[in-house]
Structure 1
Amino acid sequence: MFPTTPRDSDAWDEDVSREIARSAPGRSAAGFPAGDRHEDELGDDEDFEEEVRFVPVRRQLSIAIAGFAGLLGTGLILGAQTSGPDARLPYAIVVLGVQALFVLAFTMAIRPPAAGVVAGVCVAAAVVADYLAVTTRPASMLPLVYVLAAAFVTALIGQAVRARDRLQLRDSLGGTFVIVFGVLCFSLLLVLTRRPIGAQAMLVCLSAVGVSLLLAHVIDAIFPKPRIAPQVPRGATGVIVGAMIGTLTSAALGSVLVLPFTPAKGAIIGFVIAGIAGLVDLAVNFSEAGRSMAGDAPTFWVARHMQGPLGAFALSLPATYLLTVFMLS
């Protein structure tokens, strides 16, 4: 019953030790704690490598985004320059089309609760805001603020109708506000066309945005280094050079336009506007990377790639309006 030889004694001790290790709660068969590095080291490394994966830059996609940004800026600039006191309706239709694209792209990306309600409220608010921007006398941003508040409250009420949507309401406040705010920012284009130097100010600011975004994505297609983050297919060189050339473009336009424009004022305006546009465009890429890492379903590819330029133009317009009012009036 008991071991009688040294060999039998060693084997018996080894069996007893193995049984104790197996029966001890929270310990592995080797005697280490269950979550110890000795047991899970390989699996942790594989999970970490899978989570922080390197996303390559797709050159053709970067060129396509650059082209979309250039076309969007060109369309908005030409529409503003051809808009007159008796010919604002065609430009208002162009702006409404851009607003519809913004609603489509950001609603599909952010996915707020009751997304259909939010999209419908935003489109209706865009129509009302565009009408007020064209007809209100004197031309002012204040009516758009009222529309923004009413649209945001209406969207929240629509999200609170169903119990399933109410559970997500608190977490979606920021995303819902971004959608409503961005849509109504485009209505500022119509307000600026009615100000004495608004068309020239839009030429300077929208040129800075369009040039900075176009060059940033073209450079990403050629030289996407140094990478800003492994998960974000953007390079710091493109962002910085794009903002610098956008500023230079504004300074050059400021030197050829009539007073109150000067090269210095053009450079200051371009620096602010191009910087905002570049940061918004980059923030969209980080948001998409965050959704991918969280395991969320990817946004529809067309909406995903329109987000950056649309968001950059939209969120640079409040600064454009304020700089026009306080620096150039």
Structure 2
Amino acid sequence: MPPPTPSKLATIAVVVWVLVLTCGILFGAGLDRRIFILGIAVLQLLLIAGFVLLRRPPGMLVTAAAGILAAAGADLIVIYSDPFDPGDIIFVLAGAFGLAVVGQLFRGGGRQSLTVSVGVAVYLAVITAGFASYIALLRQPGGLQALLVAVIAMGTAVLAARAVDLTIPNPRINRQVPRGAFGVVIGGMVGTAAAAYAGVLLDGPTPAKAAVGGLVIGLVAVLGDLSAGFFHAGRRISGAGVAPWPVRHGLGPLMAFATAAPVTYLLSVYYLVRGF
């Protein structure tokens, strides 16, 4: 049977969580760089713990270790490499992949279990390392203004999508995922409008560039948030039960900001910060 629609209290709690994440990254970007890096590291650890508890893959410790290796390696490369080359992150992800393969081989299990475990570990490593993109963006000329526009876009997009679910939870985006289709669509539109307005207020990207960037970043963030619901649906369908309440409701926004981070960096460096 499909899961019930979340209570209004649960949805409101998620909206508040999205607001906390958005304001935390926005204000943290203007603080001392070491404080911002520490905050990003905390978000990475929360993402790893939440994802492992939500997905519960075979070999949970190996999966968590791969995520921690990817997070630490990506952060160190972003902080200490001069000049920074995004391609260096590939070596970190390769190391996380190797750790996942070796760890799962020693753990044992069937071929299907090995494939699932390695796939989940690699996915977690990619999105966890993606958080380091926020740190990398601050090292670029005009990066702070681009980061503010991007975070406003993804924050308002996810916030609007979750808020619309309060009043229009149906039709669902999927029978097994308790998220409304209207929220997903409206969230992307609101993120675009918020980014354009941020371009008017901030001394950075033009409103036209900010709107285009906000459209892409907002949609990626909304889909990243939505992916947590699909992961949880897969767990339920496989008979593994449901994840704890804070995990199944709070992981989506974390995945939204993690998934949109690399897109934010690439779009900002090659589009938003050019020519202003």
Which residue number in structure 1 is paired with residue 242 of structure 2? 298
Deviation at residue 70 of structure 1 after TM alignment: 1.3
How many percent of aligned residue pairs carry the same amino acid?
36
Verify the 8 A CA contact 1:281 1:308 in the aligned structure 2: yes
Of 200, 205, 229, which aligns to 1:285?
A: 229
Deviation at residue 151 of structure 1 after TM alignment: 1.4
Do structure 1's residue 57 and structure 2's residue 6 form an aligned pair? Answer: yes
Of 32, 54, 68, which aligns to 2:17?
A: 68
Distance 1:92 1:229 in 2: 37
Distance 2:109 2:248 in 1: 26
Taking structure 1 as reference, are residues 306 and 283 closer, same or farther at Cα in structure 2, changes over 3 Å only? same
Deviation at residue 59 of structure 1 after TM alignment: 1.0
Distance 1:129 1:294 in 2: 33
AA in 1 matched with 2:67: C
- Report the 3-state secondary structure (helix = DSSP H, G, I; strand = E; otherwise coil) of the residue aligned with 1:239: helix
Show the 5 A alignment for 1:219-238: 219-238=164-183
- Report the 3-state secondary structure (helix = DSSP H, G, I; strand = E; otherwise coil) of the residue aligned with 1:164: coil
Show the 5 A alignment for 1:166-315: 168-259=113-204, 261-315=205-259
Verify the 8 A CA contact 1:113 1:165 in the aligned structure 2: no
Distance 2:175 2:96 in 1: 38
5+ unaligned residues in a row in structure 1: which ranges? Answer: 1-50
Deviation at residue 227 of structure 1 after TM alignment: 2.7
Q: Deviations over 1:272-301 (max 9, x none)?
A: 011111122222212312322332221222
Q: Deviations over 1:74-96 (max 9, x none)?
A: 111111122xxxx3211111110
Deviation at residue 167 of structure 1 after TM alignment: 5.4
AA in 1 matched with 2:129: L
Larger RCO: 1 or 2 (CA < 8 Å, sep 6+) = 2
Which residue number in structure 2 is paired with residue 11 of structure 1? none
Q: Deviations over 1:195-238 (max 9, x none)?
A: 11111111111111111111211121122233333332221222
AA in 2 matched with 1:279: L
Number of corresponding residues: 273
Of 318, 324, 327, which aligns to 2:262?
A: 318
What TM-score comes out, normalization by structure 2 length?
0.92
Taking structure 1 as reference, are residues 162 and 231 closer, same or farther at Cα in structure 2, changes over 3 Å only? closer
Verify the 8 A CA contact 2:22 2:155 in the aligned structure 1: yes
Distance 1:290 1:124 in 2: 26
Deviation at residue 317 of structure 1 after TM alignment: 1.0
Deviation at residue 242 of structure 1 after TM alignment: 1.6
Of 26, 33, 50, which aligns to 1:77?
A: 26
Q: Deviations over 1:228-272 (max 9, x none)?
A: 33332221222222211111010011123335x111101100000
Verify the 8 A CA contact 1:55 1:232 in the aligned structure 2: no
Verify the 8 A CA contact 2:59 2:117 in the aligned structure 1: no
Write 1 or 2 for the structure with the bigger share of helix.
2
RMSD: 1.8
Taking structure 1 as reference, are residues 196 and 143 closer, same or farther at Cα in structure 2, changes over 3 Å only? same
What TM-score comes out, normalization by structure 1 length?
0.78
Distance 1:290 1:129 in 2: 29
5+ unaligned residues in a row in structure 2: which ranges? Answer: none
Deviation at residue 316 of structure 1 after TM alignment: 0.7
